[in-house]
Every structure is written in C-alpha cells, then in structure tokens.
Chain A
Amino acid sequence: MAISVDHFGRTYSTATGTFTAVDDLSFEVASGEIVGLIGPNGAGKTTTLRSLAGILRPTSGKVRVDAHDLVDDPLEAKRRLAFMPDEPHLFEYLTVEEHLRLVARLYGVDDFDRRAGALLDELELRGKEKSLPGELSRGMRQKVVIACGLVRNATTLLFDEPLTGLDPIGIRRMRETIVARAKAGAAILLSSHLLHLVQEVCTRVIIMDHGKKIADGTFEELASRADLATAGSSLEQIFLRVTGHN
C-alpha cells in the first residue's frame, strides 16, 4: 500500500489541557487510487494530512508511506511524498522558478528543465517564473505550491483543499491534473469541503467527525449501506446523514 495509517492518533497540549484531534484512525490508500477525506470543520482532516506529510508527529499508531515508517524512516518516506497544503506557504524572497529549482535539488530531480517547463505550462504559470510570491495572486501562489509538489516523482500526493483560490479554468485544470497523476500510478489523498469535486474525482471516500473515522468506502458502497440507503443519491446527502446533520 502506498499509504498505510494504522491506529493513528494525535493529541495537542493546550493551556487548558490536552485535546484529541484524531483518535484511532486506520485506513489505506493504494497506488492509482484517489481517496477523498471529508468531514465537518474540526473533524481532524488537516491534522491527519499534516501528520502524513511528516509535519506533525503521531501521538500513537503508525503511518507508513510505501512501507517506510514516517517516524522510524522519515527521509525515505518523505522522498515519496508531496503535500499541497490549503494555505500556500512560500518563501517570500524566492521566485517561482527558484522554488521549483529548490525542490528539484532537495528531491534529486534529474530532468528539471523539462519537467519544470511542462508544469509551468500545465498550471498556467508561464511568464511568472521570475515573480516573487508577493507579486502573485492567492490562486497563483496555490498553483506554485502544487507545481512544487508535482515537479518531482512523488508516489503519494496529499492535497488539502487544492481548489482554494483557483479560478474556474484553474479548477478544471486541477481536476484533470489530479486524475492524470492517479492514472500514472500515484496514490492520492484529497481533503476538501467541495463534495461535488470529491464525488467527481475520488474512487473512495473516508468521512471523519470529531477525530474518528465514521465511514469508509466507495460511493456505491456508502450509498448501499443499510443505514444510509434512505439518505439520498448524492455524497452531500450521505455526508449529512452520516454526520448527523440531516
């Protein structure tokens, strides 16, 4: 399995005590699969993605990427990962091209010029190579983050709200890009509140609430579940029923 999450838990220490963001979460994502991670605000989606990306250390359980444990063997695991966060964190003093070059150096990308050129075209960043992040719109910065994630041969892609700030053309391009990467064999975990996007591109859906997994399966499997059979035909209706908001 490209991604293997086994009894993963994450708690935060706060001034008033500890807070459990994710509790006993287990799931797997295979190569070529696009799994949607959905849930209400505060469900633990972003914590899960940030832990998978190696930003947060799991409090309990195991997280593996291509069989490499993120805690025991972090370098090998991270080499296979690309994380595209919802908030584009870029170095304000590096240009778009320099960001791509930096990532290429860190991940040992051989044919940088060809790959970077193709990505600039694909994400409509051509002409912005020499721009600093401060000179770009929110959507363009998001595209730069995504380009940094795609410029290397990552086998596992983690998207957190990838469409935030993109225009309609950008949204369409991004959908195509995600599907194309999955067809090329990448395992994709995608978190989004845009349920129609999840329904359209994902092959499987995981629903979280209050840090726990409350549903996991293909759209058809969820729709045919006994307790959800009467929920309705759309993912939105299923989501509302599962999370108790229907």
Chain B
Amino acid sequence: MFTASIYIIACSLRNRLRVRLRRLREPRYLLGAIAGIAYFYFTVFNRFARTGNARITREGRQVPPVGPQGVLQAGGPIMGLALLVLAALAWLLPATSTLLEFTEPEVQFLFPAPVSRRALLVYRIVRSQVALLFGALISGIFVPATTIAPRLRFAAGIWVLFVTIRVYFAGVTLARARLTSASGAARRVAWTPVVVILGAAGVVGTALTRAFLTQPMGNAREVFTGFSAALTTGMAGTILLPFTMLTRPLLTSGTEYVTALVASAAIMVAATLWLVRSDAAFPETAIASAERRAERKAKGGAATPTARATGWTLAASGSAEGVFLWKNAMQMVRNPRGITLFRYVVPLVLTVVAMSAAMMSGNRARGGAAVFCLMAVGIAGFATLLGPQVVRTDLRDDLRHLEVLKTWPLRPAAVIRGEMLWNGLLITGVAWTAVICAAIFSAAAFPQLSMLWRSSLSLTALLLAPALVFGQLTVHNATAVLFPAWIPLGNARPRGLDMMGQRLLLLAGVLITLAIFMLPGAIVGGVLWFAFSRFIGAAVLVPGAAICLGIVAIEVLAITEVLGPAYERLDLTGIERPE
C-alpha cells in the first residue's frame, strides 16, 4: 500500500504540474503567473536580501539581523500552552479532521481494495505530506537569516509540529466517534484521553490563575514573564512538557536542536501510533467526511443552507430587480455564514454602541468613546472599500446558475442591476451604521474639528458610501460579464501562483476602473470646493458628494445597459477552470 500511495502522490503531482504548465498557454494564466512570481519576489525574496544584510548604525557599528528566536525563546511555554488549549478544544469543537477527508475517487478505488484500514490511514498521512512539507518550507523561507541552514532547521521543526497536530486532530475525530460506543470497555478507552487532556488543562489553568492572583502584573512584559514562570515549574511545567517539546526545535540551534528535534519527532510518532490504532471507527467517519467533501464541492464550496422561514414572500408582480433582491437576500439569510453575521455581529455592534454611549454620557471615560469612533470609522472604511470585494452575493456567485438565468425573459441590464442590489444595500447599510456611530462620538475623537466640519464630513461620507459601493459592484459584475474566466465560481478559491497573480491583477484592474468611475464626480466636487469653500466652508462638501453620487448613479445605469449584449453572448462552456 505504501508504494501505491507513493505512486498516486507522484502521478498526481506530475499531472497537476503538467496541467498548470499547460494552462500557461492561455494569456490569463500566463499573466497571472508573471504577476504572482513578481509579487512573490518583491514581497519575500527581495525582503530577505534586505534583512539578510547586517544593518549599519549611524555610528558605523554592525547590528546583526533581528530574528524571532529571541521572542520565541521566552515564548516557548506560551506556545506550549497554546498547543494544550488547541488539543483540548479539538475534543470540544465538532470539527472533523481533513486528514480523514478521502476524495470520491479514493473512496471508490481504495475502500473496496484488499487494503487494511490502518494502511488506508497511513496512505492519508503520506498523502498529506506534500501540503505539509510545502507549508513548512514556506514557513522556513520567512525566517530572516543569512544562510539557508537556519531556515531548513526551522522548516524541519515546524513540519514535525504540523504533522503532529494533523495526526492528533484525526485521532480525536476517530476517538470522538467511539465516545458513544455500545461497548463499555470501548467507551472507557475513548473517554480516557478526554479526561486526561481536560484534567491537564484544568491543572495548568489553576497554576496560571494562582500566578496572576498572587503576583500583580502591571504591564505586558510582567504578564509574559509571570506566565512563563508559572508554566515551566511544578505540575504545570510537567504537564506542558510534551507540548513545549514540540516547539523546542523552533527555538534552538546546534546540538540542542538535534536533541529537541528527536524528542519532538518521538511525540509525532506516538501520536501517529495512537491514530493508526484508533482505526475501528475509521470507515464510517471517513466515508461521512468524503460525502461532506463531495457535497461541498458540488455546491462550489458553499455551506449547507437551512430552510428557515424569513417572513418575506416574493410578491406576485413587480420589477425584475426586486426578484434578485429577494433571491440574494434569501441566499444570505439562509446561508449559515450569513445568518451568523446577523446573529453575532449585529448584537456585538449594538453592545459596543450602548457601552460607548454610557461611557460618553458619564463623561468619565471619554477615551472609550474616541476609540469607538475610530473603530466605527475603520468599519465604515472597510465596508465601503473592501465590502464589495468580500461579499460576492451577486453575478459573481450566480455565474454557476447562469444557465438558469439566461432562460429567464429578462433584460440583461435588469439582471445585472438586480444582482447587485442586495449586496449594495447591505454593504451601504453597514457603512451608514458605522458612519452614524462615528458621527455620534466624533466630538470625543476629533475635538479639534468644529461641529460644522464633523457634520459635513459625516453627511459627505453617507452620500459617498453608496457611490463607492455600487461603483465597485458595477466594476466587479462587469468583470464577471466581460471576463468570466477570471471569476472563480461560487466559493471556489483556486490555488497556484498563477491564480494568486490573477487575483492581484483583477484587484488592480478593479481599483483603476473604480478611480476612473469616480473621476467625473470627484472633478465636479473639486470644482465646487474651490468655488464655494471660502463662502460656506466645509458645508460645500455635502452638495459636492450629492452630485458625485448622482453622476455615479447615472454611470451605473448606463454601464449596466451597455453590458446587455455582452451578457447575451456570455458563455461559460468554453472556459477551462482550474482544478
């Protein structure tokens, strides 16, 4: 089975590489690859060239490059604690290890084959090494060092850590399935690690609490050293030993490194043995994982929706845009991720607003209100500038339903506008809420600005937010119509250097187009500012923004109309999608 595993891995790697090289014949992949390589070079390798050279002080002294080792050395016990928390959470959270997610072909070919369950587990462990080794090498590249040896040392250490975590999570997934086993003996065996890990977490938690209560910690450094001391001594130190041993290869060098690597590798082997011996529940768990994976793939990576009642029934008549508004709203509300947004983010925002308002009214903690104001400005900026990039419930997502949409008797312009409507209203709503919050608390954050300036800026932001949001959405949806091959279908996130480059090029294109889009409105606003600002001051920003919004609205209408013929010609059948 081991040779078969190697054969599958080698063939898959070779063919994947071949496909990726072959697709470079298409200009979009070639351009993407060039952009990706350039980005990688300038952000990673070029930076190493700089950090690799010793810095020279003004006095001419050489300063050795600053590495993370110093920080990591002191943070070893903290990292061990983080691993312990992770190990405990693995039992509490219902997540399933991806190590057990066999692909459909793997289930079809390997499960009926005369291969033992343990051999299948070993196969999955071997199969996962490609991604883990790649991740470890990338992590090693980021170690600022003048030679390659420290990077390789770090990569080997982090690889052992990655494998151990992966294997442990898979073991937890299998053991979790036996927690409710009919056999009492099997149940006891399954519950033992749960009790041990939770007990260990309890002991370490008690030691930390005691350290915190007995020795007051005034600043972050004291907290850091106090916790480190508590985590390296007594029972807590002993319990954390296996976890800190896993992190030791990342923090040491020389002969100490070799010893640390051997020790961490021993823990990795122990975890692997535990996994392969926990194979009783393996087939059911693996098949369930494979089915979930296939289901996710069929839905383009989207989460499984739930048929919750919304109280919003589509009216029997009305505009075509209204149909899409309703459809996309249902998609977001019924998507588990979408409802999470409403369920958690909205109460969180309301809580923060209420707390800040209370602080403001008490006038004892004006700083809190100022911080909240700045946070609100940040949220408004993020929603306006990046919201349309992140929230894709429009034609970008609906390209996978294009065959259905194209059979509908609707004007293409109405389809494109309708697809953008829900997204635009939602993001604008978030931005407006944030702007209003910022406006309410702006006196605390910007005391140097007059009331006129603050209110003018707030009104301007309220007017410009929909212009920027709908402007960007128009560019994104126009890209989906004109260059559908550049748009990933559904929630798919294709990998590869060329795909990363494509995303960068697309983002640059969107930003440039948006700048052109906003230019007429900005020019008119600028003219108004120079003509009237000396007479009415900051208030002139408001009519300028209103005119800008009007111009963008006309542009959106015109562009969606112009896109009509392109939408009619839109055909996804000839497009080669990345794997």
Q: Which of A55, A89, A102 contacts B314 (CB 8 A)?
A: A102
Which of A130-138, A202-210, A237-245 participates in binding chain B?
A130-138
Q: Which of A50, A79, A112 contacts B316 (CB 8 A)?
A: A112
Which residues of chain A come closer than 8 Å to B493, judged between CB atoms? none
Most buried by B among A12, A13, A134: A134
Cα A101 to Cα B327 with chains together (Å):
11
The answer to the question of A34 belonging to the interface, with a C-beta cut-off of 8 Å to chain B, is no
CB within 8 Å of A: which of B299-314?
299, 302, 304-307, 313-314
Interface 0/1 of B402-445, CB less than 8 Å to A: 11101111110000000000000000000000000000000000
Min Cβ gap B484→A in Å is: 13
Most buried by B among A71, A78, A85, A91: A91
- Is A106 touching B323 in the complex (CB atoms < 8 A)? yes
Which residues of chain B come closer than 8 Å to A83, judged between CB atoms? 407
Which of B370-378, B467-475, B571-579 participates in binding chain A?
B571-579
The answer to the question of B192 belonging to the interface, with a C-beta cut-off of 8 Å to chain A, is no
Interface 0/1 of B310-344, CB less than 8 Å to A: 00011111101001000100110011000000000
- Is B317 touching A101 in the complex (CB atoms < 8 A)? no
- Is B318 touching A105 in the complex (CB atoms < 8 A)? yes
Which residues of chain B come closer than 8 Å to A57, judged between CB atoms? 568-569, 571
- Is A102 touching B569 in the complex (CB atoms < 8 A)? no
Min Cβ gap B91→A in Å is: 29
Min Cβ gap A22→B in Å is: 13
Which residues of chain A come closer than 8 Å to B334, judged between CB atoms? 93, 132
- Is A98 touching B305 in the complex (CB atoms < 8 A)? no
The answer to the question of A14 belonging to the interface, with a C-beta cut-off of 8 Å to chain B, is yes
Most buried by A among B302, B318, B571: B571
Contacts known (A55-B407, A134-B304); A93 close to B569, Cβ less than 8 A: no
Q: Which of B305, B408, B569 contacts A92 (CB 8 A)?
A: B305
Cα A136 to Cα B334 with chains together (Å):
17
The answer to the question of A125 belonging to the interface, with a C-beta cut-off of 8 Å to chain B, is no
Contacts known (A78-B407, A101-B314); A92 close to B299, Cβ less than 8 A: yes
- Is B307 touching A132 in the complex (CB atoms < 8 A)? yes
Cα A112 to Cα B573 with chains together (Å):
34
Which residues of chain A come closer than 8 Å to B573, judged between CB atoms? 12, 56
Interface residues on B, range: 35 or more
Q: Which of A14, A85, A95, A107 contacts B403 (CB 8 A)?
A: A85
The answer to the question of B221 belonging to the interface, with a C-beta cut-off of 8 Å to chain A, is no
- Is A101 touching B409 in the complex (CB atoms < 8 A)? no
Cα A106 to Cα B411 with chains together (Å):
11
Interface 0/1 of A64-92, CB less than 8 Å to B: 00000001001110110101010001011
Q: Which of A89, A101, A112, A131 contacts B307 (CB 8 A)?
A: A131
- Is A55 touching B403 in the complex (CB atoms < 8 A)? yes
- Is B403 touching A50 in the complex (CB atoms < 8 A)? yes
Q: Which of B26, B299, B327, B571 contacts A102 (CB 8 A)?
A: B327
- Is A108 touching B317 in the complex (CB atoms < 8 A)? yes
Min Cβ gap B288→A in Å is: 16
The answer to the question of B61 belonging to the interface, with a C-beta cut-off of 8 Å to chain A, is no
The answer to the question of B16 belonging to the interface, with a C-beta cut-off of 8 Å to chain A, is no
Cα A72 to Cα B421 with chains together (Å):
28
The answer to the question of B297 belonging to the interface, with a C-beta cut-off of 8 Å to chain A, is no
The answer to the question of A104 belonging to the interface, with a C-beta cut-off of 8 Å to chain B, is yes
- Is A105 touching B315 in the complex (CB atoms < 8 A)? yes
Closest to B322 in A: A105
Interface 0/1 of B363-382, CB less than 8 Å to A: 00000000000000000000
The answer to the question of A53 belonging to the interface, with a C-beta cut-off of 8 Å to chain B, is yes
Cα A89 to Cα B569 with chains together (Å):
20
Interface 0/1 of B543-579, CB less than 8 Å to A: 0000000000000000000000000110101101000
Interface 0/1 of A93-130, CB less than 8 Å to B: 11100100110111110001000000000000000001
Which residues of chain B come closer than 8 Å to A94, judged between CB atoms? 327, 330
Cα A63 to Cα B458 with chains together (Å):
55
- Is A106 touching B330 in the complex (CB atoms < 8 A)? no
Closest to A158 in B: B407
- Is A74 touching B408 in the complex (CB atoms < 8 A)? no
Min Cβ gap B370→A in Å is: 41
Which residues of chain B come closer than 8 Å to A134, judged between CB atoms? 295, 299, 304-305
Interface 0/1 of B23-66, CB less than 8 Å to A: 10110000000000000000000000000000000000000000
- Is A93 touching B409 in the complex (CB atoms < 8 A)? no
Contacts known (A89-B403, A91-B331, A93-B334); A15 close to B25, Cβ less than 8 A: yes
- Is A79 touching B330 in the complex (CB atoms < 8 A)? no
- Is A104 touching B403 in the complex (CB atoms < 8 A)? no
Cα A67 to Cα B66 with chains together (Å):
77
- Is B327 touching A105 in the complex (CB atoms < 8 A)? no
- Is B574 touching A93 in the complex (CB atoms < 8 A)? no
Known pairs A85-B403, A95-B307; list 4 more (Cβ under 8 Å).
A89-B404, A132-B305, A132-B307, A134-B295
- B residues near A, CB below 8 A? 23, 25-26, 295, 299, 302, 304-307, 313-318, 320, 323, 327, 330-331, 334-335, 401-404, 406-411, 568-569, 571, 573-574, 576
Could you list some 17 contacts between A and B, CB below 8 A? A15-B26, A50-B403, A54-B406, A55-B403, A55-B407, A57-B569, A74-B568, A75-B411, A89-B403, A93-B330, A93-B334, A95-B307, A101-B314, A106-B320, A131-B307, A132-B306, A134-B299
Kindly list the 5 A-B residue pairs having the minimum CB-CB distance in the complex, ordered from nearest. A78-B409, A93-B334, A93-B305, A79-B409, A93-B331
